[in-house]
Amino acid sequence: MRERLRKELGDPIFEAWIAPLTLESWDKDELKIGAAKPFVRNWVINHYVARIERAFRAEQAEPAALNVVVTQAQPQVAAAVSKAPVEIVPAAPLSPPPSNVAYMPHVSPDAAAGAMQGLWSRMLHPQQTFDSFIAGQANEFGLGAAKAFSEGAGDMPLLFIHGGFGYGKTHLLNAAALEFRKRGKKVLFLRAEDFMRHFLGALYRKDTLAFKDELRTADVLIIDDLQHICRSTATASEFLYTVNALADLRRRVVIAADRAPSALEGLGADVKSRISGGLVVQLGKPDRDTRLAILKARAADFARLRPEVRIPEEVLDRIADLEDASPRDTIAIFTKLATYADLTKKPVTAEMAEEAVGMRASGSLSPKTSIEDIQKKTAEFYKLDVRDFHSPQRARRVARPRQVAMYLARKLTTRSLPEIGRRFGGRDHTTVLHACRRVEALCNEDALFKQEVDFLSQMLSKLN
Ligand SMILES: Nc1ncnc2c1ncn2[C@@H]1O[C@H](COP(=O)(O)OP(=O)(O)OP(=O)(O)O)[C@@H](O)[C@H]1O
């Protein structure tokens, strides 16, 4: 990458502006590059960010966002030179990096070890066990397979679970992780984005070998939301390498994704075929009885914590009626009502349940309005490709519609900020929050923009 940029920009410019930059962090897919002074930061942003992004892309590393930050504030210098001439006068590097390193912080062995430690830091949810997973027609095969797999049954090294949002995939992965641990196995449980982030971090630290070795120490590798790995071909190849290496060592791999292996766009045929060769199970949408049983279990948990709060059974019945709701959706309505009762000390009535359920069914919080619909319609409206919403592009023609889509996802679905961020190319929840505030502010300032947003909002509500 260093050589690519040097060739494109020429030695003097490269040495003056690019070489002194440092890689500050790579967190949640945000690549933070450090500049020593505000002036340098502004100059790099205005002149070189697009090239830097292109160079990353050419190396098949696609950070969701690229930011340049000032590593040491020197306001007086910034003020004096912020009106810099357009002509670039090559200057001596501000703090010369080692000659063979671009964007590379000095990583001590300790820091590298720390980065590897982060791989293992995921906490397991003690309540998401096989016992607390309610089985029904739509998911009993998945439950049985996950249980047997984590008890060591069968010869297949890989289990792949797919199903809709909120259908219980992560719950089953967590339960499997707990079970494997109980059996003394060393479990590595990562979301696809975490895998990608750690891998790309290792790439920039130039210690991918250590990363590979570290992964191979796991007895069990569990990956959630595999669909997000497709964003970088380098990561997808690394993932395949890891799965193959673990399979050769007769270790086990459990994967979850929102779609079947064949529908994982962006993954090569080799990865798909590797996955399809494992045990593939689907979680369907639980039927009414299962939804009611899940709600009853939640109510019992709640009653143990707050015995004074009463939630009548007819309330649970009414919530379970919601035909298109996933377990997550029904649990969200229950939690809302139970929290209301707890805070106000008022009983929850069937009418309140009716109202909460009605709100969702009417479209203001409709479970039918999916983030995918929102992305599709918003992209169509602004003449973009949905993939632009997942990309790191920050050009206004993409960034503003992306913010609108995030705002609509927040308004029209019950998805949390982190979840919305994840669906928009693995962005951070603070990015979503910022987008929502920005869109609200713009709606107040600009009547035309407000009309656009209202139009999209109404159109999406009518889809249901
Ligand atoms: N069959 C079930 N029994 C008990 N709880 C369930 C069941 N299915 C889902 N849940 C609960 O619903 C919530 C959402 O489930 P989970 O997070 O596992 O969904 P998911 O399929 O991983 O969704 P996403 O793809 O959006 O990450 C969790 O609180 C989970 O415990």
Give the HSE-up count for residue 327: Cα atoms under 13 Å, Cβ half-sphere.
Answer: 28
Give the pLDDT score at 26: 64
CATH of region 288-361, choose from 3.40.50, 1.10.8, 1.10.3470, 1.20.120: 1.10.8
Query: What does the pLDDT average to over 92-100?
Result: 30
Give the HSE-up count for residue 60: Cα atoms under 13 Å, Cβ half-sphere.
Answer: 13
Per-domain boundaries in the chain: 1-82, 140-283, 288-361, 371-462
Task: Encode pLDDT of 159-208 as tens digits.
Answer: 999 999 899 999 999 999 999 999 999 999 998 888 888 888 888 778 88
Q: Which CATH class is domain 140-283?
A: alpha beta
Verify whether ligand 1 is closer than 6 Å to residue 29 (CB atom). no
**Other Cβ atoms closer than 10 A to 387:** 14
**Other Cβ atoms closer than 10 A to 326:** 20
CATH of domain 1-82: 3.30.300.180
Nearest-CA residue for atom 20 of ligand 1: 166
By C-alpha distance, which of 80, 144, 462 is closest to 279?
144
Residue 149 has pLDDT above 90, yes or no: yes
Sign of the torsion formed by the C-alpha atoms of 195, 196, 202 and 205: negative
By C-alpha distance, which of 348, 336, 360 is closest to 312?
348
Q: Which two tokens stand for residue 180?
A: 């494997």
Verify whether ligand 1 is closer than 6 Å to residue 285 (CB atom). no
Residue 261 region by backbone torsions, left for phi larger than 0, else alpha for psi between -120 and 50, else beta: alpha
Verify whether ligand 1 is closer than 6 Å to residue 404 (CB atom). no
Give percent of the chain above pLDDT 90: 28
Distance CA 169, CA 189 (A): 13
Q: Which two tokens stand for residue 254?
A: 């459990």
Q: Which of 139, 170, 301 to mutate to test the pocket of ligand 1 (most atoms within 8 A of CB)?
A: 170
Distance (Å) from CA 168 to ligand 1 centroid: 3
Q: Which two tokens stand for residue 447?
A: 């009547």
53-57, 127-131, 443-447: least confidently modelled range: 53-57
Verify whether ligand 1 is closer than 6 Å to residue 180 (CB atom). no
Query: What does the pLDDT average to over 208-232?
Result: 86
Residue 220 has pLDDT above 90, yes or no: yes
Are residues 157 and 252 in contact, defined by beta-carbon separation less than 8 angstroms?
A: yes
Nearest-CA residue for atom 23 of ligand 1: 166
Task: Give the atom of ligand 1 at the shortest distance from the alpha carbon of 168.
Answer: 18
Q: Is 233 annotated as a binding residue?
A: no
Task: Give the atom of ligand 1 at the shortest distance from the alpha carbon of 132.
Answer: 4
Q: Which of 161, 283, 328, 413 to mutate to test the pocket of ligand 1 (most atoms within 8 A of CB)?
A: 328
Task: Give the atom of ligand 1 at the shortest distance from the alpha carbon of 171.
Answer: 18
CB burial of 156-189 (b: ≥16 within 10 Å; e: otherwise) equals bbbbbbbbbbbbbbbbbbbbbbbbbbeeebebbb
Nearest-CA residue for atom 15 of ligand 1: 168
* Domain at 371-462, CATH homologous superfamily: DnaA protein, C-terminal DNA-binding domain (1.10.1750.10)
